[in-house]
Each structure stands twice: as C-alpha cells, then as structure tokens.
Amino acid sequence: MPHEKRTEILDQAYRFFNERRVDEALALMTEDVEWPDVANGVVLHGREGVRPYWMAQFALGSPVVVPARYIDAGDDVVAVVKQRVDDLDGKPLVSEHVVYHRYSFAGDRIRRMTVHGDEGEATS
C-alpha cells in the first residue's frame, strides 16, 4: 500500500481518537492489533484490549494527539506527534511534547503501534 494511503488512515485514526469516536478508530485496526500501554510497560492485544485502555484514559483526562508529519520507514510509517493531556476541565496535566509513533500495517489496517522518545530510535 502506498505511503500516502497509510498516512490517510493514520490521519483518520488520530481524528477519531481525538473526537473520542472509539469504534471508528478501532475499525481501522486489525482484530489482533498490538498496542502499547506505555505507563504499565505492556503490549495490549486485540481491539478489545485497546478499547478499555482508551476508555480508562478518557475517564481520567483528555489526551490529544496531533500528527505534525509522517516519515516513510519502509513498510512502516513513523508519525511525529504533538501530544498533550488535559484534565477533564481542560487544564493541562502534561504539557505538549513530541513523541514518535511507529505503525505497521496488514493490508489497509493498522497491525501494530510502538512509541519512541526520539526520531532516531523510532526509525532505526
């Protein structure tokens, strides 16, 4: 699948996440997606593993992730993401910072996502 198509899928996924349209975001993933729970150092498996993780995040705060650009990484795509977390009243809990999300695909679905602290680590 061309890089442009993958970035279109990712743009949709970020938009759905930020709008809390969980079912639509999950529909962009494979049934057996692998998704990081960075805070707990584990990998979640499957859409039904990701759903409660996101719902718990949304209950505690309001994470917002906005892709600034995408890097073609062969079969993968690295999203350079501006991320912040506000409390439920809109006050910052975590100030905006940049993280790198690396995505693998299976056909036109997201198969795996990993989080990296810097671009070099994400693209190696």
What pLDDT score does 61 carry?
94
Pick from 64, 60, 50: which is nearest to 19 by CA?
64
What is the CATH architecture of 3-123? Roll (3.10)
Question: Stretch 65-77: mean pLDDT, rounded?
Answer: 96
Structure confidence by residue, pLDDT tens digits, 35-55: 999 889 999 999 999 999 999
Q: Does the pLDDT value for residue 76 go beyond 90?
A: yes
Give the helix/strand (H/E) hosting 11.
helix 3-18
Whether the CB-CB separation of 79 and 101 falls below 8 Å is answered with yes
What pLDDT score does 39 carry?
86
Q: Does the pLDDT value for residue 112 go beyond 50?
A: yes
